[in-house]
Amino acid sequence: MSTERGKGTVAIVGGAGAVGSSTAFALMESSLVGEIVLVDVAKERVEGEAMDLNHGSYFTSPVRVRTGDYEDCWDADVVIVTAGASQKPDETRLDLMERNADIFADMIPQITEGLNDDAVMLIVTNPVDVLSYVTWKVSDLPAERVIGSGTVLDTSRFRHSLSREFDLDPANVHAYVVGEHGDSEVLVWSSANLGGIPFESYATSHGVDDVDALKAGVETEVREAAYEIIDRKERTNYGVARSVAATTERILGGDNSILTVSTLVSGEHDIDGVYMSLPCTVNETGVRDVHEFDLSADETAALRESADVIRESIERLDLE
């Protein structure tokens, strides 16, 4: 059985894990995906995941789910990597770095050895900015075709928090999180708006007496969201799966959508040589454009500090 004409093939490396299988489940609803290949070292479990997913295919857009090995990634349009050690309670994303960097140094060359010239690698494993950089370095792929899931989920959390605070449809909330997908991420308040109205104006006109306190509470909620979830259920999977599926659809659809994916930054905001999240135009080539937009002085300083956090982590790996 071949992939339906006009639909893409997506390979998920780490497909037996909670994030990988949840991403496959989310992608089954997409009219742009015709085949999903699940790759995992846990052979029996990944076979079970494929069987379970296929049994629900009657209720979705036509899609085939099968298992495979690294070479089955070579013909994929998008290769999503969720494999690696998972984050433990009280462990930061950067604490995972050395364990997962070793895994990637062995795994990524096997995936990219025969990868087709148009495929896009989408890295999800944490710390995602560091591992996206590792993937770019060990794969010899162009930087625009190696992207990280970045702060797409953090941006969604930011918008969700504001929409809940003001009882609005999240589609009417426009705000970004940039920088590291982690503790040093930067919530961009200076350009945040609700229905086109600047955040502070909207907040004060809707009865918020202490705007700074509201901002501090939202920042804490967004930054600590993953830790709160992990404390309660040991992992995060549904939110990240939805954000990764949405990013994959933008790639397959060639939509030229702006998403805060992690990409190689080359001079924007006077930052160079690290992977981090900025608003990027995403399409079938991966990242088409990286957008440098206006930030306040405090936000600019925080973004550069976030870049330094990532840079120091990359330097500790001694990849050269």
User: From CA 103, how far away is CA 138, in angstroms rounded?
Assistant: 12
- Tally the C-alpha atoms within 13 A of residue 311's C-alpha that lie toward its C-beta: 11
**Two tokens at 133?**
């950089």
Q: For the chain, what are the domain ranges?
A: 8-148, 151-316
- Over its length of 320 residues, how does the chain's per-residue pLDDT go in tens digits? 345 556 999 999 999 999 999 999 999 999 999 999 999 999 999 999 999 999 998 898 899 999 999 999 999 999 999 998 776 777 776 677 888 998 999 999 999 999 999 999 999 999 999 999 999 999 989 999 999 999 999 999 999 999 999 999 999 999 999 999 999 999 999 999 999 999 999 999 999 999 999 999 999 999 999 999 999 998 899 999 999 999 999 999 999 999 999 999 999 999 999 999 999 999 999 999 999 999 999 999 999 999 999 999 999 887 76
Answer yes or no: is 84 a known binding residue.
no
Whether the ω angle into residue 170 lies within 30 degrees of 0, i.e. cis, is: no
**pLDDT for the residue numbered 308:** 97
Answer yes or no: is 40 a known binding residue.
yes
Strand partners, 174: 193
Answer yes or no: is 124 a known binding residue.
yes
Name 17's Cβ contacts closer than 8 Å, sequence gap at least 6. Answer: 40, 82, 83, 86
Element (H, E) at 273: strand 272-277
User: From CA 95, how far away is CA 126, in angstroms rounded?
Assistant: 9
**Two tokens at 22?**
């949840």
**pLDDT for the residue numbered 2:** 42
User: From CA 310, how far away is CA 129, in angstroms rounded?
Assistant: 7
**CA distance from start to end of the chain:** 44
Q: What class has domain 8-148?
A: alpha beta
Report the candidate in 81, 1, 83, 15 with the shortest Cα–Cα distance to residue 53: 15
Report the candidate in 262, 85, 293 with the shortest Cα–Cα distance to residue 181: 262
Sheet holding 78-81: strands in order across?
Answer: 64-68, 33-39, 8-13, 78-81, 120-123, 146-148, 262-266, 272-277
- What are the DSSP calls for 165-230, one per residue? HTT--GGGEEEEEEB-SSTT-EEEEEEEEETTEEHHHHHHHTT-S-HHHHHHHHHHHHHTHHHHHH
Answer yes or no: is 56 a known binding residue.
no
Answer yes or no: is 283 a known binding residue.
no
**pLDDT for the residue numbered 231:** 93
Answer yes or no: is 17 a known binding residue.
yes
Q: What class has domain 151-316?
A: alpha beta
Answer yes or no: is 286 a known binding residue.
no
Measured in degrees and rounded to the nearest 5, phi and psi for residue 76 equal: -75, 155
**pTM summary value:** 0.94
How distant is the alpha carbon of residue 96 from its chain centre?
16
User: From CA 220, how far away is CA 241, in angstroms rounded?
Assistant: 22
Specify the DSSP class assigned to residue 124. -
**pLDDT for the residue numbered 1:** 35
Answer yes or no: is 54 a known binding residue.
no
Alpha helices in the chain (DSSP H): 18-27, 43-55, 97-112, 128-139, 152-165, 199-205, 211-223, 225-233, 238-253, 297-317
Question: Catalytic positions, please?
Answer: 181
**pLDDT for the residue numbered 94:** 67
Strand partners, 263: 276
Answer yes or no: is 18 a known binding residue.
yes
User: From CA 183, how far away is CA 254, in angstroms rounded?
Assistant: 31
